[in-house]
A and B are shown apart, each in its own frame.
Chain A
């Protein structure tokens, strides 16, 4: 039973480059959350999708960040252009009304380093 899948697991890039992080939801789930984790700020919600529609993007830092759900099981988080302060671990989590649960299940994360 596959959980949330994220790729890549590690990404090292140079300032100014475009970064794309990917997430595959648990089958049957219809809610998707992107989080960012840093030592200073802890776990922060960036954006929430329900049924492929962005519901709350108030946590997205600035216009350099964008997220999409091209289909019900897949999402991308893009940073363009990237900056050193974007270095963090990025998690996606999914949850599903179908299973009558509010529990968010997290992926393994992508560790992003921007040089």
Chain B
């Protein structure tokens, strides 16, 4: 889910469980989507991307799903580890160039 202001939505999971982070995007004309991970004190780090002509893309322990009908993007993390604790941002590209619009972010908290 998305949020504005000071309070990010938080997803709490147990270590070893699968995590699903959701994102609603705004522009049906967006053609490219990215998930970034941001750890405390660091810059956003690229995780995985997907183009609008795809529904699913898999990486190492991560899968991104795209549902263009409802303008929804999700990030699935398999076997979540403590090192996965961070804020996760989805971003969409809808401009004529590589301009990304970022969501508000979701905080993932992994508990032992």
Q: What interface size band does chain B fall in?
A: 20 to 34
Contacts of A63 in B (CB 8 A): none
When A102-B32, A102-B49 are in contact, do A43 and B99 touch as well, CB less than 8 Å? Answer: no
The main secondary structure of chain A at its interface with chain B is: strand
Contact B43 A109 (CB under 8 A): yes
B37 to chain A, nearest CB (A): 11
Contact A39 B99 (CB under 8 A): no
Smallest CB-CB separation from A40: which chain B residue?
B5
When A43-B44, A48-B99 are in contact, do A103 and B34 touch as well, CB less than 8 Å? Answer: yes
Tally of A interface residues using CB under 8 Å: 22
The main secondary structure of chain B at its interface with chain A is: loop
Q: How far is the CA of A98 from the CA of B4 in the complex (A)?
A: 36
Of B11-19, B64-72, B78-86, B100-108, the segment with at least 4 beta carbons within 8 Å of chain A is B100-108
Contacts of B32 in A (CB 8 A): 102
A68-109 CB contacts (< 8 Å) to partner B: 91, 93, 95, 102-109
A26 to chain B, nearest CB (A): 12
Q: Is A50 an interface residue (CB 8 A)?
A: yes
Contacts of A31 in B (CB 8 A): 98
Q: How far is the CA of A39 from the CA of B49 in the complex (A)?
A: 25
Q: How far is the CA of A95 from the CA of B44 in the complex (A)?
A: 14
- In this complex, which of B46, B93, B103 has the most chain A Cβ atoms within 10 angstroms of its Cβ? B46
- 20 extra A-B contacts, CB within 8 A, seeds A31-B98, A106-B45: A39-B6, A40-B5, A40-B6, A42-B102, A42-B104, A43-B44, A43-B89, A45-B100, A50-B97, A56-B99, A91-B44, A93-B44, A102-B49, A102-B98, A103-B34, A104-B34, A104-B46, A106-B36, A108-B43, A109-B42
